Structures are given as C-alpha cells and as structure tokens.
Amino acid sequence: MSSPRILVVDDEADLRELLEITLLKMGLDVDSAETLGQARAFLAKGEYALVLTDMRLPDGLGIELVREVTTLYKGTPIAVITAYGSAENAVVALKAGAFDYVTKPVALDQLRIMVQSALRVSTGQAGQPGPAAGAPSRLIGESPAMQGLRAQIGRLARSMAPISITGESGSGKELAAREIHAQSSRAAKPFIAVNCGAIPEALMEAEFFGYRKGAFTGAAEDRDGFFQAANGGTLMLDEVADLPLAMQVKLLRAIQERRVRKIGATAEEPVDVRLISATHQDLAKCVETGKFRQDLFYRLNVIELSLPPLRERLDDLGVLANAMLDRLVGPGQATLGPQVLETLAAYSFPGNVRELENVLERALAFANDGVIEVGDLSLKSARLAEPSSAPVAAAQAAEPPAPVASPAPAAVPPAPDALPNNLPEYLEQVERDIILRALAQTQFNRTQAAQLLGISFRQLRYQMQKLDIQAPED
Ligand SMILES: Nc1ncnc2c1ncn2[C@@H]1O[C@H](COP(=O)(O)OP(=O)(O)OP(=O)(O)O)[C@@H](O)[C@H]1O
C-alpha cells in the first residue's frame, strides 16, 4: 500500500526542504510546489492526505488555496504556515476552513503532531474517523435549528479550529462539545470539560498546567493539569467568561505557543489540544467592559456555534420528552397523557433541556402507571404564558419568564455575637444552610434553586458535591 501523500506549497527553498525531510522521515510521500499555479496542477492530478501551504506565495495568497481546497477537494485537509505573531492570518485561515496552522519558525514536534491528526481526518488514509462518526447524534431534535446544528457539528468536527459555543444554561452546550469531540479524529483521546467558574483563583494555574513535586507546600508529587490530561483530545472551557484576567493571559500564551509549563518546571512541554469554549454570557460584551481580554476572545471565538433555547424550538418537545422518558424508565415504559405536550409548550423553560429533564423526572414520581398527566408536572404557574390548553403556536409567542421571587433578602448572614472559632467551617455551614433552603423552596429543583441564588446550575452542583448535599433521588 502506498504511503499517504502530502502537498507542500512554499516558495522558500530552505523551509520547503525542512518540511520535505521531516515528512519523508515520517514515512510519507511528498510533492512540493513553489507557487499557487504549481499547487493547483498537483491537486488536479493527485489525491493528498494533507496540503500544507505558506500564506504568501509569488502568485497569490495561501488563503486562496484554502478556499479552493475546502470547496473543490472537500475530503482533503489543508493547513497553513503563518508568520510568528500573526494571529490574524491563522484565524482568517481557520475561518475559511483550514484544518489547522503552524507558525514560523516551524517547531518540528508540533508539525508532526499536526500532520498526524490531519492524517486521521483525511478520508481513506492512516486514521479512522472517530468511533461515533456515523452513529446517531446524542443531540436530539428534528426542528430545522437542530438539524442545522448537527450538520454544522459534522463539519466542525473535521478541523482544529477553536469553537465558541453560546447558549442559555441547560441548552446543550456541553453535549454539543462532546458531540464535536466524538465525531472528530480525536474521539479516542480524552474529552475534558472544565468549569472555569468553579475553580478557586489561587488553584487555577496548577489545575490548568499541572505542577512539579515540591513546587509549593503540599505538592507531594508531579501532577498533570487539564492541558496534559486532554492531550490529543479536546479541552472544553465552560463558563469561560468567569476566568480571571491573570489566568486569561496565561491561557492565551498556552494557546499561542501550544506549549505549557508546569508550576515549578523549567521546560515547557508541547500540548495538542482542541479548544472549545462555552458561556451563557455575551463574551463580546465582556470584552467591551474589560472583563475579558480581546486577544483571547479573538483566539477562542474563531467559529461560533449558537444553541437555541428550548422555547425557540418547541417542535422538539415531543421527541425530547419521549427520549428522556425512555432513558429514565426504559423504552415504552412511560408516556405523556392528554394536553401534557401543550402544557409543556406553554412553559418558557428558562432552564432549557435540563429543566425539561428535571420536570419529567419529578412528574414520573407522581405519575400513575407511567402515564404523566398535566397535574403531575408541577410547573411554576407564574411562568406559564397561557392556560394549560394553549396551542403550541400560541406558546411560541410566549412572554419571557416572570422572575421567581427571591428568598430572604439578606445576602450576608447576620453576624453572630461571638466570633466563630473556625471560619471555614462556619462559612461552610452558612452555605449549606442557604443551599438547603433554596432546594427546599424549589422542591429540590436544582435549576430553579440555582436561579434563586443567582449562580449557574453547575456552580450549584459543584457546591452540592463539595458540601455532600444530596437530592432525595440521588
Ligand atoms: N438536544 C438535546 N438532546 C438531548 N439531550 C439534551 C439536548 N440538549 C441538552 N440535553 C441534556 O440537557 C442537559 C443539559 O445539557 P448541557 O449540560 O449540555 O447544557 P449546558 O448548556 O452546557 O448547560 P450549562 O450552561 O448549565 O453548563 C444534559 O443532561 C444534556 O444531556
């Protein structure tokens, strides 16, 4: 069997030679072109597992080749070589459909990593597509929005471009990120999701980049960070807007260099990680207000994927509800009674699909013989836009949800007369108390409890785990 063939397009003889030698040593065949014209002639004749092109060529720009290859030779990944510090070129190329980029001076270890992952992507070559490729998507829904989303995910899975996922809490951002990973050539490697809002600032660097034994008190052994743990796979930065500015600088550097340094280490190590970030905040606004660095935003926000809230795709309610019931109690074991779908459709679901899951899970506990009736739903009536018999079309024009009444207004606990003799324990107790009160008030609906407390669902879940608070059904 012949080796995969790579097309190198560069007019600088020295660099071309370096690339050729490196690729040949990797057991690959190489064709070299000095101009766009020559590259086009090669492409017309042969099949390539990867095209690697410089951005400036004597007869035009590499970006033209990116556009041609991504439209005319869809199965062929194309990567670009950009000048050091020219983030703009890299981002433009990725937006145009480039698989990835390397910066000059070309670091050979990074080039090899990039080529290997391109080979896994290119059809019929060394790699296999991810195990989930071809498998049914876990993102359920037949609305045009969901169909479009699944198609977009299929395309995005084939590149290394950083993706920024936006959408309300519970709309499926993490699920979408997992789906991109599962359909990519990285599927066999780890998917690591990090909730940036839940890590104490002092621990962030250690958590992201790892540390060496003895780097600080308590560092009893070497430990990897998220970047090393996700090596070869995908790192999801959830609630990325919550990253403190100091950490944003370090993250930007890691993304630019594709290298990280453990705390206490002298040398940096290369990391091969695809980044997906997510937030329910408006990141562009965070940039405007100075809360988020523009340069990091630019790097993370190369491709945008937006998840619609559930109330904007009510057509999906039926199929989602059925799939969830099947998962909760087994296929065909539970059904929705008359008017249930209409009642659900009249609700605005501020907690989106996660809230639908919660509502159904709770309703099942009340349902007789697995048939969920309207009375089993216990939706907050304040949020129903129409009476329970409202038709779906009317529900689509529903007003946004009325805010839920806040609990006791005091945000700060009343200070006891005597000072606590163990502050952390005391604060933990206060926190536990407040969370338990919010949970009791919402019949253990964690989505609503989180809203009451003005924190995200994930933050609440994290705090509950930390404080060992268990929902009755856990
Ligand atoms: N289209 C969908 N099909 C099936 N399940 C879904 C879909 N969208 C979301 N879910 C389910 O809803 C729950 C919430 O999804 P997910 O955690 O991905 O949301 P999120 O947007 O990341 O939430 P947050 O902003 O709170 O982090 C999960 O249990 C997920 O499996």
Is residue 313 within 6 Å of ligand 1 at its C-beta?
no
Tell me: the pLDDT tens digits for 415-427? 445 677 777 677 8
End residue of a domain, out of 355, 374, 396: 396
Same domain membership, residue 165 and residue 302: yes
* Separation CA 93–CA 55 (nearest Å): 9
Same domain membership, residue 102 and residue 188: no
Count of domains observed in the chain: 4
Lowest mean pLDDT among 290-294, 318-322, 392-396, 429-433: 392-396
pTM score: 0.75
End residue of a domain, out of 364, 396, 428: 396
Evaluate whether residue 129 is within a structural domain. no
Give the pLDDT score at 380.
60
* Separation CA 260–CA 208 (nearest Å): 9
| pLDDT at residue 387 tops 60 | no
Domain that holds residue 42: 5-121
Q: Which of 354, 455, 459 to mutate to test the pocket of ligand 1 (most atoms within 8 A of CB)?
A: 354
Is residue 446 within 6 Å of ligand 1 at its C-beta?
no
Evaluate whether residue 156 is within a structural domain. yes
Burial 194-217 (b: 16+ CB within 10 A, else e): bbbbbbeeeebbbbbbbbbeebee
Angle between helices 36-45 and 62-72 (to 10 degrees): 20
315: domain CATH number is: 1.10.8.60
341-344 contacts: CB < 8 A, separation 24 or more? 341/317, 341/392, 342/388, 342/389, 342/390, 342/391, 342/392, 342/395, 343/374, 343/377, 343/379, 343/384, 343/388, 343/389, 344/317, 344/377, 344/379
262: domain CATH number is: 3.40.50.300
Same domain membership, residue 343 and residue 468: no
Tell me whether 0.90 is exceeded by the ipTM.
yes
Among protein residues, the one whose CA lies closest to atom 25 of ligand 1: 169
Same domain membership, residue 171 and residue 291: yes
Tell me: the pLDDT tens digits for 194-217? 999 889 888 999 999 999 999 888
Mean pLDDT, residues 351-355: 93
Evaluate whether residue 263 is within a structural domain. yes
Same domain membership, residue 348 and residue 210: no
- The alpha carbon dihedral of 120, 126, 127, 128 has a sign of positive
- The alpha carbon dihedral of 460, 463, 469, 473 has a sign of positive
- The alpha carbon dihedral of 236, 238, 241, 243 has a sign of negative
Same domain membership, residue 263 and residue 165: yes
Is residue 456 within 6 Å of ligand 1 at its C-beta?
yes
Is residue 238 within 6 Å of ligand 1 at its C-beta?
yes
Tell me: the pLDDT tens digits for 134-153? 567 889 999 999 999 999 99
Same domain membership, residue 268 and residue 221: yes
End residue of a domain, out of 265, 290, 306: 306
Name every residue whose Cβ is closer than 8 Å to that of residue 380 and which is 6 or more positions away in sequence. 404, 448
- For residue 329, give the amino acid letter: V
Mean pLDDT, residues 363-382: 81
Is residue 139 within 6 Å of ligand 1 at its C-beta?
yes
Same domain membership, residue 111 and residue 77: yes
